[in-house]
Every structure is written in C-alpha cells, then in structure tokens.
C-alpha cells in the first residue's frame, strides 16, 4: 500500500524517492543546514514532503548540474531555499488550511488601489 503525498517517509523510503543512498542523506544533513528531517525517539529520521523536495533539489544541483557542496551552500545563501529546490517546488499545503479572511480582504483592497493607480498612470501617458 502506497503512502499518501503528505505522509512522512523513513530514511529508506526517502533514499529511494530521492535516488541517493541513506548514508548520503545523512551526510547531506551534516553539510547543508537546510536539510532538517524530523527526528523521533532513538534518532529515527522522518522526511516530510518538503524535505524530499529539498533533497531532490540538492541531488540535482550536485549530480546533474555539477555544483560542489560549497556551490550549493552559496546558491542557498544568495537565493534561498526556492532556488535549491528548483522545479521540485514545495509540497502543496493541505487543503484544509486557508488564508485568514482579514488577509484576503486586505489583499483585495490593495489590488483595487493598484488597479486605480495603474489606470491613472495609463491616462497620464495618453494625455
């Protein structure tokens, strides 16, 4: 039986999904501070979907794009985790999590103000 998309993975499952041996995943934890699986009692590692995405990105950068460990660290320092993950992206948020209504209404008001400002600017350019 296959695990759900949001299920945590053991290190062996993560290694299979990422395409790197378990000892390499443990090594990457020591080299990359952004590789942080959940550790349970006894030190067992469990990888969240976003951890898998990060590991796939690290593997791609090291093996496919030819970066060094220092190169990946520099890329992360300059551009953040999104560039490390690349096309792997972030695992989708669970469907039951929604933005607070106040944030949505604030964004709607801001959008309306920006639309009005854009209209005024376009009118000024045409004049």
pLDDT at position 62 is 94
**CATH code, domain carrying 81:** 1.10.1660.10
Q: 78 and 116: one domain?
A: no
Query: Quick one: tokens of 99?
Result: 């933005």
Question: Do β-strands 38-39 and 9-10 pair in parallel, antiparallel, or remain unpaired?
Answer: unpaired
pLDDT at position 35 is 93
Q: Say how many domains are in the chain.
A: 2
pLDDT at position 4 is 79
pLDDT at position 93 is 45
Q: 69 and 121: one domain?
A: no
pLDDT at position 82 is 79
pLDDT at position 67 is 92
pLDDT at position 53 is 92
What is the rounded CA–CA span in Å between residue 50 and residue 121?
42
The helix/strand/coil state of 44 is coil
Binned average pLDDT, 10 residues per bin, the chain of 127 residues? 80 96 96 93 91 94 93 89 68 52 80 91 86
Other CB atoms within 10 A of residue 56 CB: 21
Q: 39 and 77: one domain?
A: yes
Residue 102, domain extent: 97-127
**Exposed, middle or buried: residue 110 (CB in 10 Å: 0-12, 13-18, 19+)?**
exposed
């Amino acid at each position: 039986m296959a695990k759900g998309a949001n299920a945590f993975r053991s290190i062996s499952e993560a290694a299979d999904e990422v395409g790197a041996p378990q000892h390499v995943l443990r090594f990457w934890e020591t080299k990359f501070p952004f590789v942080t699986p959940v550790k349970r009692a006894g030190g067992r590692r469990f990888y969240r979907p976003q951890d898998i995405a990060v590991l796939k990105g690290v593997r791609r950068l090291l093996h496919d794009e030819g970066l060094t460990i220092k190169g990946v660290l520099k890329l992360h320092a300059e551009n953040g985790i999104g560039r490390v993950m690349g096309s792997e992206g972030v695992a989708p948020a669970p469907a039951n999590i929604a933005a607070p209504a106040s944030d949505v209404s604030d964004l709607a008001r801001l959008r309306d103000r920006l639309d009005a400002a854009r209209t005024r600017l376009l009118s000024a350019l045409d004049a």
